Structure 1
Amino acid sequence: MSQDRSAPDRPTSPIMRRNLGSDVYNVLWDRILSRDLSPTEKLSDLRLSEELGVSRTPVREALHRLVQDGVVIYSPNRGFFVATFSPADITEIFDLRAVLEVLALRTVAAKLGPEGYAWARGELDRVQILIEGARSDAERHEAAGAFLEVDQGFHQWLIEGSRNGRLIAFVNGLWAQISVFQRAGTHIPGWNEIALGHHRQIIDLLMAGESDRAADALQFHILDMKERVLADIAPNLASNGGLDERGS
């Protein structure tokens, strides 16, 4: 477990004064995604309030929101910690995604004609050009950000297109945790290209009216990403000495 460090050890982030709770939440969320706040690290509301130049109240509000997202855990008498994800946690999350997103795809496919997917195909082509043309670190960073936006947008579009309120709410409850894996994956060579290829295949099958094959391709995509997360990312998302996602 990381030791609690004083404020000067961390770079400060400017906080706007419009909605402190939301601003602090966004800053902490970005720091968790970037691994600036590492798995099992204790999150001291006092230290964070000093770093961010705000009172402890909006910090605690933000921490409780992150607990609801599943990326921070709270343990009585111990405090807040960045959540870790065991292989079992990762397997559960991706297996649930596979079932729910395939259900959503079948629902969407029954409603849309081929023209309904043209925008998604265009976005995939745009990101492909950015990835292939990236030469500098800045360009690669831009391409990775564009890929994340399109990747998340595609999956969210499928879920919301189902018009199934309970399905949408359930998957949205997983998305904060899924985002941790997605952000980490963008830094692994070849990941973005593989995922883009999967998305392209799914869209092409939907545009061809082959919804069953598209559903199979989506399931393969999600389960393939699960295996890649378990192999390439899981060791960095868990710590033998820390709290797991359940706070034990």
Structure 2
Amino acid sequence: MRASDKAYALLRDEIVTWSLAPGTVLAEVEQASKLGVSRTPLREALSRLVADGLVAPQEGRGLIVTEVSVDGITELFELRQALEQQAARAAAIRRDPAVFANLRDEFLTVPELLRTDDESRHAYFDLVRRLDEALDTAAANPYLVQAIGNVRTHLVRLRRLAADNTQRLLDAAFEHRMIVEAVYEGDPELAASATHLHLRNSLRNTLALVGPKLNTQ
């Protein structure tokens, strides 16, 4: 792995896990020493983080970790709606039905899965990850997939602030299954509508859980 890639991956992980809190100043000398890289690859890594929207320049302070705000969450979901609805449409047109038939069967087991232990809950999150990957593959549009990947980076950061709610996870699993069904059936507009419903509910839940925590920071 190149030194710049290593620095990028480590800093990105620290930001999305809140080890580097919003507003943290990323001093070049300090970060280069901590990460064990020279300043040139560190600068490359920081440039990528700026492009991701995780780091931004602030006058008089250099580069800092970007803030998370309620307005920012809403704007993020506006973009997510546009991108993921289009991805769902494309996936419904270009999908391999067998892939989504298997995912549909797996999502049928989720209600029981989420009523058991933490290990089973991790299995559910893995299933959601595999659904995302299947939709990305079926959409067959690398530009769209890259843009969605950038949005997901910010979503991971938000999830670190939100405690899991079992009822919301059950509702989300049902919504995911509706997306899978629509893609499997090859219905692009139904797939987009199911995605819209899921993301609308996800935004509402995220604002309810994360908003009060942001207001107290």
Q: Decide whether the 8 Å contact of 1:25 with 1:66 is kept in 2.
A: yes
Q: Aligned to 2:26, which of 27, 40, 43?
A: 43
Is the helix fraction higher in 1 or 2? 2
> How far off is 1:211 after superposition?
4.8
1:21 paired to 2:8 = no
- Which structure 2 residues correspond to residues 57-68 of structure 1 after superposition, within 5 A? 57-68=40-51
Q: Which amino acid aligns with 1:204?
A: E
Q: Secondary structure at the match of 2:165?
A: coil
Give the equivalent residue in structure 2 for 1:189. 165
> How far off is 1:128 after superposition?
6.3
> How far off is 1:26 after superposition?
1.4
- Which structure 2 residues correspond to residues 1-248 of structure 1 after superposition, within 5 A? 18-112=1-95, 114-121=97-104, 124=107, 131-134=114-117, 139=119, 143-144=121-122, 146-185=123-162, 187-190=163-166, 191-208=168-185, 211-236=188-213
Q: Secondary structure at the match of 1:35?
A: coil
Extract unaligned runs of 5+ from structure 1: 1-17, 241-248
Q: Secondary structure at the match of 1:157?
A: helix
> How far off is 1:69 after superposition?
1.0
Cα distance between partner residues in 2 of 1:226 and 1:123: 25
Q: Deviations over 1:144-173 (max 9, x none)?
A: 4x5444434423432442234543343334
Cα distance between partner residues in 2 of 1:79 and 1:126: 50
Q: What TM-score do you get using the length of structure 1 for normalisation?
A: 0.71
Cα distance between partner residues in 2 of 1:90 and 1:100: 15
> How far off is 1:202 after superposition?
2.1
Cα distance between partner residues in 2 of 1:234 and 1:156: 29
Deviates more, 1:158-167 or 1:196-205: 158-167
Extract unaligned runs of 5+ from structure 2: none
Q: Decide whether the 8 Å contact of 1:70 with 1:176 is kept in 2.
A: no
Cα distance between partner residues in 2 of 1:194 and 1:231: 16
Aligned length: 216
Cα distance between partner residues in 2 of 1:90 and 1:77: 27
Q: Secondary structure at the match of 2:88?
A: helix
Q: Which amino acid aligns with 1:221?
A: H
Q: What TM-score do you get using the length of structure 2 for normalisation?
A: 0.79
Q: Decide whether the 8 Å contact of 2:103 with 2:180 is kept in 1.
A: yes
Q: Decide whether the 8 Å contact of 1:39 with 1:238 is kept in 2.
A: no
- Matched-pair identity in %: 30
Q: Decide whether the 8 Å contact of 2:92 with 2:191 is kept in 1.
A: no
Cα distance between partner residues in 1 of 2:213 and 2:4: 29
